[in-house]
C-alpha cells in the first residue's frame, strides 16, 4: 500500500514551493500527509469519502497557487489507482486487511506481521520489496 504514498510523494515533491527557509519541512509534511491518507484508505476506504480532496486540502498550502491544480490532478490519479487496487485486493483476498505484510510464510499462509512504516512488508520480508520494485522498474522500462 505504501508504494502509493511513495508514488504520490515522488510526483508531488518537485512541485513544492521553492525558496523556503526549511525546504525539508515541506517535504516532511507532504510525505506524512501522503502516508496518513494512504494508511486511512487501507484501513477503511469504504468510509473515507473523497480521499483525493482530503489529501489536497491537507497539502495545498505547500504548493504555489499556480501548481495547485496540477497537484490535485496528480493526487486524484494516484488515488484512483489506489482505490482500484483496493477493490481488486478485496476481490482476490476477500478482505481489505492491507496493514498486514504481503508475503506468505513457508507454510503458504499469509504473513500476519505488521509492515514496516513505508513498506508493504514486515521486517523479515522486507527483502521482497526490492525484488518487487526491480520487477516493476523492468516492466516500466
Number of chain positions touching Zn ion (CB under 5 A): 6
Is residue 86 a contact point for Zn ion (CB under 5 A)? Answer: no
Give the integer Cα–Cα distance in Å for 114 and 42. 13
Nearer of residues 78 and 125 to Zn ion, judged by Cβ: 125
Is residue 110 a contact point for Zn ion (CB under 5 A)? Answer: no
C-beta separation of 74 from 8 below 8 A: yes
Q: How many CB atoms lie within 10 A of CB 62?
A: 21
Q: What is the 3-state secondary structure (H, E, C) of 78-96?
A: HHHHHHHHHHHHHHHHCCC
Nearer of residues 55 and 122 to Zn ion, judged by Cβ: 122
Is residue 125 a contact point for Zn ion (CB under 5 A)? Answer: yes
| Among 33, 103, 119, 120, interactor with Zn ion by CB under 5 A | 103
Is residue 116 a contact point for Zn ion (CB under 5 A)? Answer: no
What single DSSP character describes residue 119? S
* Residues lying near Zn ion in the complex (CB under 5 A): 101, 103, 111, 113, 122, 125
Amino acid at each position: 500500500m505504501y508504494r502509493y504514498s511513495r508514488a504520490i510523494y515522488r510526483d508531488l515533491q518537485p512541485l513544492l514551493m521553492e525558496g523556503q527557509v526549511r525546504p525539508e519541512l515541506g517535504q516532511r509534511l507532504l510525505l506524512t500527509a501522503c502516508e496518513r491518507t494512504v494508511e486511512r484508505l487501507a484501513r477503511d476506504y469504504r468510509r473515507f469519502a473523497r480521499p483525493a480532496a482530503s489529501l489536497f486540502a491537507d497539502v495545498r498550502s505547500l504548493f504555489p497557487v499556480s501548481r495547485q491544480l496540477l497537484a490535485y490532478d496528480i493526487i486524484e490519479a494516484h488515488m484512483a489507482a489506489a482505490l482500484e487496487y483496493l477493490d481488486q485486493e478485496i476481490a482476490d483476498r476477500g478482505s481489505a486487511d492491507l496493514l498486514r505484510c504481503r508475503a506468505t510464510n513457508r507454510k503458504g499462509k499469509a504473513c500476519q506481521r505488521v509492515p514496516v512504516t513505508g513498506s508493504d512488508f514486515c521486517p523479515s520480508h522486507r527483502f521482497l520489496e526490492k525484488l518487487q520494485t526491480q520487477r516493476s522498474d523492468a516492466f516500466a522500462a
